[in-house]
Amino acid sequence: MKSGFQTTLNDRVSLEGIGVHSGKPVSITLHPSEANSGIVFLRTHLENGREREILAHYPNVIDTRLCTVVGDPVRGSVATVEHLMAALRGLAIDNVTVEVDGPEIPIMDGSSAVFVDAIDQVGIATLRTRRRQIKVLKPVRVEMGRAWAELLPTDKSAAGFRLDVEIDFESPLIGRQRRILDLTPDSFRRELSRARTFGFVKDVEQLWERGLALGSSLENSVALGEDRILNPEGLRYGDEFVRHKMLDAVGDLALAGAPLIGLYRSYCGGHRVNFMMLEALFADDSAWTMVDAPVRRESGHAELSSGLAAAAFAPDTN
């Protein structure tokens, strides 16, 4: 394929799982879509049989307390979008319609791995339209308590996105961890995609009492007790905790609407800080610009015309 051009999927692919907060079954189908359409959530099974399209873009974020939620609380929303968004951005996929029949994306195993596997089942198609990227031109910083994040320009010769993420927990089970990664499809697959969400049992029990995190279990989270990790299989990476925070950052920052060119640094960040970073960046027109991605020939995926010959489906939305 030619990298630097937009991508979509070769075919539709479906998955089923449970919502980590509702604990209810939910199914999603990823559909190929045309160039410049972006990532769109098609929320189905709303009241009176309604459907609603929600563009995966930061102005549509309505909540970041426990996960990232896009949409509208009255007209329809989709929660826990970050792990799927991370898989799409991590694999450099630009255009997909995500049909979802419930209020949240299924948690699967708590990472992006199952979404990556589903994408691999159908493959990635290259479209004949250049990819546009958001280039950071000057430093932008946000702070929330002791947490902070910043976006910085990279060297003029650099054309990619680097993450420098650090976490610092009082619990000795986590402690202070830092990781730096240049984001590419290969590095995402190898270094981040399998890193699972995590939480302390005492915190999850409080969420259960509030009717939240009803689908959380050892099947989809790394659970930390007072002095040990409760999952029998242990960790997938020695520093799985910071890798998952990095995965979350990839997914949240994908709501910029296009790939970022720059360096993202964060300390003790999370969904809220990641979202604040996007708000701060786009609030300053002098801090960013749109550029065409460089084109270079690679082997691999099929090429399609700039528009798909026929949409996988054509729903009526309102």
3-state secondary structure the chain: CEECEEEEECCCEEEEEECCCCCCEEEEEEEECCCCCCEEEEECCCHHHCCEEEECCHHHEEECCCCCEEEECCCEEEECCHHHHHHHHHCCCCCEEEEECCCECCCCCCCCHHHHHHHHHHCEEEEEEECEEEEECCCEEEEECCEEEEEECCCCCCCCEEEEEEEECCCCCCCEEEEEEEECHHHHHHHHCCCCCEEEHHHHHHHHHCCCCCCCCCCCCEEECCCCECCCCCCCCCCHHHHHHHHHHHHHHHHHCCCEEEEEEEECCCHHHHHHHHHHHHHCHHHEEEEECCCEECCCCEECCCCCCCCCCCCCCC
The model carries a pTM of: 0.91
* CA angle (118 as vertex; 127, 71 as ends), nearest 5: 75
Question: Given this model, what pLDDT does residue 261 score?
Answer: 97
Tokens at 205, concatenated: 């029990």
Instruction: State the Cα–Cα distance between residues 240 and 246, nearest whole angstrom.
Output: 10
Residues lower than pLDDT 70 in the chain? 1-2, 156-159, 297-318
Question: Given this model, what pLDDT does residue 207 score?
Answer: 86
Question: Given this model, what pLDDT does residue 211 score?
Answer: 84
Question: Given this model, what pLDDT does residue 2 score?
Answer: 54
The distance of Cα 307 from the centroid of its chain, to the nearest Å, equals 25
Instruction: State the Cα–Cα distance between residues 10 and 13, nearest whole angstrom.
Output: 9
Question: Given this model, what pLDDT does residue 316 score?
Answer: 32
Question: Given this model, what pLDDT does residue 208 score?
Answer: 85
Annotated catalytic residue: which of 21, 31, 45, 271?
271
Question: Given this model, what pLDDT does residue 305 score?
Answer: 44
271 is catalytic: yes
Question: Given this model, what pLDDT does residue 3 score?
Answer: 78
Question: Given this model, what pLDDT does residue 298 score?
Answer: 55
Strands of the sheet containing 69-72, edge to edge, are: 61-63, 69-72, 76-78
List binding-site positions for Zn(2+): 83, 244, 248
Task: Show the domains of the chain with their CATH numbers.
Answer: 2-303 (3.30.1700.10)
